[in-house]
Amino acid sequence: MITLQDIREAQQRLQGVTRHTPLLPYADAVTTSVGDQVWLKPEQFQPIGSFKLRGAYNRIAAIPESVRQHGVIAYSSGNHAQGVAYSAKVLGIPATIIMPTNAPTVKIEATRSYGANVVLYDPMMQKREEVAQKLMHGQQWTLVPPFNDSYVIAGQGTIGIEIFDDLADVDAVLTPVGGGGLIGGTATALKSLKPSIRVIGVEPALAADAQASLRSGHIVEISAADTGRTIADGVRTLALGELTFDQMRQYVDDIITVSEEEIRSATRQLILQARLLTEPTGALAMAGYLYHREELGLPAGARLVLVLSGGNIDPTLLTDLLIASDDSVEIVR
């Protein structure tokens, strides 16, 4: 289990590399009707456009320099890939990144732009862990996991410290859930600082392994064919990691799910009304708040922070979302 001290040490490593993203006040018909005060934490303001830089850099920077110089390898659908590639460039070491063929082109190209060697694989035919093991044979590379690693979790947890530093009387924090690193680290920090804060995860109904895992008490795995159906490509993980699951069981209050229509609508609302370029995965917390406010277990007039995990949206998808701007999804008030 990682601790608040681990997260504070990560915060020190990240100085000068990541940004302390602000809390931006947000108001709309939902917040007004129930009297909530809502803030957005836009992690798309990070140098790579995603929170993933926090965990990736903390993991790589903690590797002894004599080992680190041989290089690193990682697997990711996009944002962790960019985090590792960017970190490797900053630290002057080589990086090999394994990415699925269905990853957004914009994320593949961005990863390559940081100088990483990108290897593509078919997620319907291969498991990324197996691809990594084959490539690592005979090499001295260090694997940088996307979420199931104590240093990665601690790096993501710096988000929780920043939220508390900026808004100590926050009642609840909503974050997207994929492999559990973001919510596991954030919840650990927040609950350690103030146990009464509710920390709630939001994931697509089409990839609801985290909710099933948390409620059943054991890790539930789903297929790549199932997770591949969601527009939220950043949370197409098949299962939580053992480390992230332990953190979540200890500190996370609940996981709620949202539909694809709700994700699309929330993404559009963030782009058009909040003026924040956000990818569908980054809009999960907003979707959870807009359409499932009654499931959060909060009284009217609550103070909430919604973590927007990233803004690396594919241009074609962005165009499609903006063209289809007439929402038919009913907002819950």
How many Cβ atoms from other residues are within 10 Å of residue 325's Cβ? 12
The answer to whether 51 and 156 have CB atoms below 8 angstroms apart is yes
Taking the C-alpha atoms of residue 314 and residue 269, their distance in angstroms, rounded to an integer, is 17
Taking the C-alpha atoms of residue 211 and residue 196, their distance in angstroms, rounded to an integer, is 21
Beginning with the edge strand found earlier in the chain, give each strand of the sheet holding 37-42 in spatial order: 24-26, 37-42, 303-308, 172-176, 198-204, 254-258
Indicate if 52 belongs to the active site: yes
Residue 237's closest CA among 97, 129, 112?
Answer: 129
- Judged by DSSP in three states, 312 sits in coil
Orientation angle between helical segments 181-193 and 150-166, nearest 10 degrees: 50
Residue 91's closest CA among 67, 116, 68?
Answer: 68
Characterise 275 by phi-psi region: left (phi > 0), alpha (psi -120 to 50), beta (else).
left
Helices (H), 35-78: 52-61, 65-68
Taking the C-alpha atoms of residue 83 and residue 69, their distance in angstroms, rounded to an integer, is 17
Active-site annotation holder among 52, 76, 150, 213: 52
Indicate if 309 belongs to the active site: yes
Active site residues: 52, 309
